[in-house]
């Protein structure tokens, strides 16, 4: 349950396969290319159909156990890009929107699990029984990615509203003000989430490359394809005088995006990632060590007028 919603977002096995540690690069690392397209700094009310499927495989008394969580929603938002559009660094994002009809469907075992790994922590409705509509405000600046429900929640930990906003968070991709075939840049995003009562920081380093600029029904050079290779790192710990629950994860993934030019509106996004988590609970025998592999497949498509 600790990883059931770990991602927009926010999962006996063989010995872990070493995953290379992410190499920090400057956020403004951009390789210029020749002819470029300038993107609009603002767009109004884009609406998407979004689907996510998480597969979690964990050890359980020497036997692998696999669970699934599926979620669907409509996400609608408007945004503006902030920063110097003539600079080579990707621009920041600010926006407002809403997630509509959010439905999350877990397997029975996950649905019946405790929403907190810590005794004494109040249970929360981790899986909504009815579709949710959640307004949100978003901010992405290269230091942190924040998509917060509005009005704000007194406690966001293990709340279904944050699962809904995670569906929107994946759509907020920073881009430079101009794109050209072959141009590349590196961007770092950090997200703070809470799973099973444990605060977790998830860092994603994305190496971006414009793979093609194409013509479409909207005109010549009106569609930009971007490929993003992801390195993922997650760390979290909740400690008390008598117990510590800690989580660490390493993973990688790939995203493929289609961007409308010059409007700068995301038209399609496909993502596939896998993260291996090590969970430790000192209140259990042998520190309760457990290994969980989480694979997340995410798709989003712009709803045409």
Give 84-115 as a DSSP string: -TTSSSPPEEEEEEEEEEEEEEE-HHHHTS-S
Residue 180 vs residues 59, 208, 223, 262, 264: alpha-carbon distances, Å: 46, 12, 11, 12, 13
Q: How many domains does the chain have?
A: 1
| Residue 81, token pair as written in the block | 């890009």
- How high is the pLDDT of residue 124? 46
Q: Whole-angstrom Cα distance, residue 231 to residue 189? A: 11
197 lies in some domain = yes
Question: In Å, what is the CA distance from 142 to each residue of 16, 169, 196, 206?
Answer: 30, 14, 27, 11
pLDDT of 176 reads 94
pLDDT at 113: 56
Is the pTM above the cut of 0.85? Answer: no
Which residue stretches of the chain have pLDDT < 50?
A: 1-2, 4-34, 114-118, 121-126
CB 297 within 8 A of CB 269: no
Round to whole Å and give the CA distance between 134 and 98: 5
Share of the chain above pLDDT 90, in %: 59
CA 170 to chain centre: 5
Q: Please check whether residue 20 lies inside any domain of the structure.
A: no
With beta carbons less than 8 A apart as the criterion, state whether 246 and 280 touch.
yes
Q: Is residue 25 part of a domain?
A: no
| CA 127 – CA 118 distance, rounded (Å) | 18
- The neighbouring-strand residues paired with 31 are 184
273: nearest Cα among 226, 234, 230, 235? 230
Residue 143: predicted pLDDT: 85
Please work out, in degrees rounded to the nearest 5, the angle formed at the alpha carbon of residue 118 by the alpha carbons of 112 and 120.
95
Residue 297 lies in a domain: yes
**Per-residue b/e over 182-195, b at no fewer than 16 CB within 10 Å?**
ebebbbbbebebbb
**pLDDT at residue 3 in the model:** 54
287 is a domain residue: yes
CB 69 within 8 A of CB 105: yes
Q: Which of 132, 124, 127, 123 is nearest to 109 (CA)?
A: 127
How many CA atoms lie within 13 Å of 61's alpha carbon, on the beta-carbon side? 0
pLDDT of residue 286: 74
Domain-located, residue 24: no
Within a domain: 2: no
> Which residue range forms the structural domain that includes residue 215?
30-302
Does any domain span residue 179?
yes
Kindly provide the residue ranges of all beta strands, DSSP E only, lying in the chain, ordered along the sequence. 30-31, 37-38, 42-60, 63-82, 92-106, 132-140, 145-149, 178-179, 184-195, 198-216, 219-239, 244-260, 265-281, 290-302
């Amino acid at each position: 349950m600790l990883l059931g919603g770990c991602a927009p977002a926010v999962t006996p096995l063989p010995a872990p396969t070493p995953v290379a540690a992410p190499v920090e690069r400057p956020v403004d690392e951009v390789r210029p290319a020749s002819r470029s397209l300038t993107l609009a700094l603002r767009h109004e009310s884009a609406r998407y159909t979004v689907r996510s499927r998480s597969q979690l495989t964990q050890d359980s008394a020497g036997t692998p156990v696999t669970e699934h969580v599926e979620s669907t929603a409509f996400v609608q938002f408007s945004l503006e890009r902030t920063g110097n559009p003539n600079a080579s660094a990707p621009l920041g994002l600010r926006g407002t929107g809403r997630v509509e009809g959010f439905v999350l469907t877990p397997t029975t075992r996950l649905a019946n699990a405790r929403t907190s790994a810590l005794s004494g922590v109040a249970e929360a409705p981790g899986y909504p029984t009815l579709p949710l509509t959640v307004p949100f405000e978003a901010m992405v600046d290269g230091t942190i990615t924040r998509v917060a429900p509005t009005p704000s929640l007194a406690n966001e930990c293990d709340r279904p509203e944050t699962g809904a906003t995670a569906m929107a968070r994946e759509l907020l991709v920073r881009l430079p003000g101009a794109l050209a075939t072959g141009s590349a840049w590196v961007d770092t995003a950090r997200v703070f989430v809470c799973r099973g009562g444990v605060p977790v920081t998830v860092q994603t380093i994305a190496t971006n490359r414009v793979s093609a600029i194409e013509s479409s029904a909207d005109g010549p050079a009106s569609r930009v394809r971007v490929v993003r290779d992801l390195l993922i790192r997650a760390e979290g710990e909740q400690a008390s005088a008598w117990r510590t629950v800690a989580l660490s994860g390493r993973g990688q993934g790939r995203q493929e995006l289609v961007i409308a030019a010059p409007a700068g509106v995301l038209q399609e996004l496909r993502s596939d990632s896998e993260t291996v988590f090590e969970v430790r609970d000192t209140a259990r025998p042998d520190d309760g060590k457990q290994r969980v592999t989480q694979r997340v497949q995410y798709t989003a498509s712009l709803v045409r007028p």
